[in-house]
Amino acid sequence: MAPQTQDIVGGRGEPSGGAPKRPRKRAKSQPYKPVHLNMLPMMALFTVVLCALLKDYSSDPVQIQPTPDTRLPHSNTKLPPIKAVQVVISRSSILVDETKVADVEAGRVKPIYKKNNDPKSMFIVPLYELLKKKADQEKLIAKYNKKRKELQFKGLLTVVADK
């Protein structure tokens, strides 16, 4: 027996050689039914969203976080803190924005962190390098945001030191 061939007429054909089938008509959609909203789940959802927004926007974006081994003196001020690079000086280390740059031992920075490993030098190399890097980042941000006053480079630094 010879295999059956398809006659292609207009891009469609039947294996039996008959006329192409018509596409089926879509079934009629259901009549419109009004949607009833359940208010309790919607109110719960909006309550959760409201609480999240209140939590996010109620706190000050500038936070001064002392390290565990730092005791800050008591202070009262009505001025809000300004966004700046934070340098924390504690009994055991010096940190810049929570990045450790030098170790402190007996109230002095270890000589390996100082310029030319000189114990009498006041120049702390990793501190300088990281502050320079932060300043360059801030200047780059300011360069591309010239119209936004709050993003302009001011060179501000917040020093948080142990009592």
| 92 is a domain residue | yes
What is the reported pLDDT for 133?
92
**Can you tell me whether residue 139 is helix, strand or coil?**
helix
Task: Flag whether 120 is in a domain.
Answer: yes
List the domain range (segments joined by +) for residue 90.
85-161
Domains identified in the chain, total number: 1
Q: CA–CA separation, 21 vs 13, rounded Å? A: 8
| CA-wise closest residue to 160 among 100, 72, 84, 75 | 72
Q: Which SS3 state, helix, strand or coil, does residue 130 take?
A: helix
Query: Whole-prediction pTM value?
Result: 0.56
In three-state secondary structure terms, 95 is strand
Q: Is residue 58 part of a domain?
A: no
- Domain annotation covers residue 131: yes
Residue 48, phi-psi category: left (phi > 0), alpha (psi -120 to 50), beta (remainder): alpha
Chain centroid to Cα 76, Å, comes to 31
What pLDDT band is residue 56 in, cutting at 50, 70 and 90?
confident
Tokens found for residue 60: 């000050």
Judge whether 70 lies within some domain.
no
pLDDT at position 121 is 86
- Asked if residue 104 belongs to a domain, the reply is yes
Q: What is the Cα–Cα distance from 57 to 108, expressed in whole angstroms? A: 40
- Looking at the chain, the whole-number percentage of residues with pLDDT higher than 90 is 9
Q: Which residues, in sequence order, are CB contacts of 84 under 8 Å at separation 6+? A: 154, 156, 157, 158
- Domain assignment of residue 22, yes or no: no
Output the CA torsion sign for 149, 151, 155, 156.
Answer: positive
pLDDT at 132: 93
Q: Is residue 66 part of a domain?
A: no
The DSSP letter of residue 91 is S
pLDDT at 36 over 60: yes
